[in-house]
Amino acid sequence: MINFINFSFLRSVIIIGLFLNIATADVFSPKQLETLKMVREVALMYPNSKGETFENTAMAICLTETSAGIFKVGDIGKDPNIFNASLGIMQVRLQTARFLAEKLQWQEVMELSDVKLVNKLLGDDRFNATVAVRFIVWLNDYTEQHYFRTVSRYNGGNYNHPYYQRVMRNMDLIKREAKLD
């Protein structure tokens, strides 16, 4: 009986300690905050045709796609070919970067070989964010400023409700918890 009481007390102390640790822990690491700030800076540079910018959307997509830069290669389990993977902090695919470069006549990207473009998407976070933000802006203009479809199409679907909801939850989390100013 005494062992049970001691075990219960010890378990309670551990649970309370874990709760206090979680309650006082920062939601975002300094590296994540740095990544989100950089994405915001990039997004502010590229307005859509109505002059609107998508800094909150871009930061929320970055958090949704890679936990703000923690996981930089996606889809590799489906196809081990790096040229088919989603890459970098915003999970941009090579074919998306090529498509966007063609649509925008973006010579810098058009002139890169596939190998160099993959390396740049993986190794240059600012470039990766620039491609992603410009794609968000292009999508927004393409969907005639239909925000839900803009966000859904970023993840490859016209009506991707689960993805949209994750992005919206992450946008709220960033607004509540990230001290970006």
Interval 79-118: pLDDT, tens: 678 898 999 999 999 999 999 999 999 999 999 999 999 9
pLDDT (tens digit per residue) in 23-77: 335 799 999 999 999 999 999 999 999 999 999 999 999 999 999 999 888 866 6
The answer on pLDDT for 21 being more than 80 is no
Selection from 54, 56, 9 nearest residue 36 by Cα? 56
Element of type H or E holding 93: strand 92-93
User: Looking at this protein, which amino acid is placed at residue 156?
Assistant: G
d(CA 168, CA 125): 23
- pLDDT above 80 for 8: no
pLDDT at 132 exceeding the cut of 50 = yes
Domain spans, the chain: 27-177
Percentage of residues in the chain with pLDDT exceeding 90?
73
Query: Tell me, which fold does domain 27-177 have in CATH?
Result: Lysozyme (1.10.530)
Largest CA distance in the chain: 77
